[in-house]
Amino acid sequence: MTTRIADMFARRRARRDAALIPFFTVGDPDLATTRDLVRAALAEGADAIELGVPFSDPMADGPVLQRAASRALAAGTTLPRVLELVGELRREYPDPPFVLFGYYNPFFRYGVDAIARDAAAAGADAFLCVDLPPEEGADLREAAGAHGLDLIATLAPTTPPARIRTIARAASGFLYFVSLLGTTGVRAALPPELPARVARVRGLTDLPVGVGFGVSQPEQAAWIAGFADAVIVGSALARLVETAGPRDAPSRVADLVARLRGAVAARDGA
């Protein structure tokens, strides 16, 4: 079965380059601004968008994304409203993949079958559930598959080869490789061992591998594009949203996405 995610990676593979995937917390600081941020990112060359479902206990996130989730919840963002935004964006943008990034609790409370059905109807392409191990993910995996959605999985730097195979067999779409130990957040430097770690993963699965956590600078994005299938950027964009405010955030985000895309394209063309 062909999907928007598979098509995206096929296009990038044919061009011998990497995808750029920005992350936005939906509703930070409000839904209208999130819509404008997504528009800005897509206009500047983003290939797909991760839409973060705000949650009160985001255990994998550092302070920047914790504050983003708190602002979104304070603004009244709920999972049904996230799905409404996905529907609006899908009507405007038929091609780019939209990934619902979140924690299992909101999906479970909504109802696993119901969230898969409604997410697919809205135009989402996948779930990325950061706290759902494969042994506990059968219900969501089956519901997602029944509605044509991928279930993306995460890998840590410390995940051993046998566990990588187990996780990859249960995943679809792509694998999200966490670049470093710890929570999300901007980092001045990324681990020099990262290329070897990603190469190990790519030797164990045919799924594309995207790298996130800590990526904030064009130079970092260009480096990752040399050994991964996708570059994922979240906290750096959330920090812009926090400091710029609703009026100026879309233009600030557009500038950073353009510089990231340019750096990735330059590296891929080298």
Per-residue HEC secondary structure of 245-265 comes to HHHHHHHHHHHHHHHHHHHHH
Place of tokens 């959605």: 149
Tell me if residue 95 is catalytic: no
Measured distance CA(129)–CA(108) in Å, rounded: 11
Q: Domain 4-268 has what CATH class?
A: alpha beta
Q: Which amino acid is at 157?
A: P
Written as six digits, the tokens of 133 are 């191990």
pLDDT digits 0-9 by tens, 89-134: 999 999 999 999 999 999 999 999 999 999 999 999 999 999 999 9
Measured distance CA(186)–CA(188) in Å, rounded: 7
Catalytic one among 44, 50, 118, 125? 50
Q: Which among 32, 16, 8 is positioned nearest to 126, based on CA atoms?
A: 8
Measured distance CA(270)–CA(264) in Å, rounded: 10
Catalytic one among 36, 61, 118, 150? 61
Q: Which amino acid is at 142?
A: E
Measured distance CA(50)–CA(184) in Å, rounded: 14
Domain positions in the chain = 4-268
Tell me if residue 61 is catalytic: yes
Q: What DSSP state is assigned to residue 64?
A: H
pLDDT in tens, the chain (270 residues): 689 999 999 999 998 899 999 999 999 999 999 999 999 999 999 999 999 999 998 877 788 999 999 999 999 999 999 999 999 999 999 999 999 999 999 999 999 999 999 999 999 999 999 999 999 999 999 999 999 999 999 999 999 999 999 999 999 999 999 986 554 544 556 778 999 999 999 999 999 999 988 788 999 999 999 999 999 998 899 999 999 989 999 999 999 999 999 999 887 554
Measured distance CA(220)–CA(182) in Å, rounded: 18
Q: Which amino acid is at 36?
A: D
Q: Which amino acid is at 101?
A: F
- Please state at what angle helix 112-122 crosses helix 138-146, rounded to 10 degrees: 30
The length of the chain in residues reads 270
Measured distance CA(65)–CA(224) in Å, rounded: 22
Measured distance CA(154)–CA(167) in Å, rounded: 8
